[in-house]
Amino acid sequence: MSTPAQRIDSLINALNLNINSFSKECGYPTSATIWRLINEGAKPSNPTLNKICNRFPQVNREWLMTGFGSMFTKQQDDDLTVTAKQVIDKLEPKFTTTETVKEFFKEFAEVKNQMAEIHEKLNSIEFIEALKMIKSLQEKDKNIKL
C-alpha cells in the first residue's frame, strides 16, 4: 500500500501539476509544506487535507488518507449540481396550459421513480464496495472479525 506522501505525489502528477503549482493551488505561499510531505514522507495534517480537498473537490479524501478507493470521485467529469432557480427557469415556459401541467406531473412521477431506482443501485454499489474493503482488511489482518 502506498503512503500518504506517495499518494499526494501521484495526485500532483495526475492533475498535471508540479509541487510548486499544486502548493499555490492549495493556498500555500511556498511549496515547502507539500515538498516536505512528499520528500520526507510526512503524514498530511487535517488542515492540509482540507486545503487539497477544498481546492480539488474531485479528489477522494478517503483515498488520500488511507489508499482505499479511487483517486477521484465518480463525479469528476459530471457536475450534477442544479440550483432551484435553474430548475424553475427551465420549467416556467412549459406551464402555459392545464394539459402541460398534467404532462409535467406525469413526467415528474416517472423521473422520481427513475431516481429511486438509481438510488437503490448506488446503495447496492456502496454496499458491495464496503464488503470488498472489509474483505481486503480481513485478508491483511486475520484478527478482524465483522
Domain boundaries, the chain: 4-73, 84-140
Burial class (CB in 10 A: 0-12, 13-18, 19+), 22: buried
**pLDDT score, position 127:** 83
**pLDDT score, position 51:** 93
From first to last of its 146 residues, the chain has per-residue pLDDT tens of: 589 889 999 999 999 999 999 999 999 999 999 999 999 988 899 999 999 999 999 999 999 988 888 899 865 444 455 566 666 666 666 666 677 777 878 888 888 888 888 888 888 888 888 888 888 888 877 776 65
What nine digits make up the cell of 16?
Answer: 498535471
Query: At 6, is the secondary structure helix, strand, or coil?
Result: helix
**pLDDT score, position 81:** 55
**pLDDT score, position 96:** 63
Say if domain 4-73 classifies as CATH 1.10.260: yes
**pLDDT score, position 78:** 47
The residue assigned the cell 501521484 is: 10
Q: What is the percent of the chain where pLDDT is above 70?
A: 80
Please tell me the distance from the alpha carbon of residue 57 to that of residue 77, in angstroms, as a whole number.
11
Cα radius of gyration (the chain)? 22
**pLDDT score, position 69:** 87
44, 49, 99, 142 from 138: Cα distances, Å: 26, 27, 59, 5
The pTM of this model reads 0.51
**pLDDT score, position 77:** 43
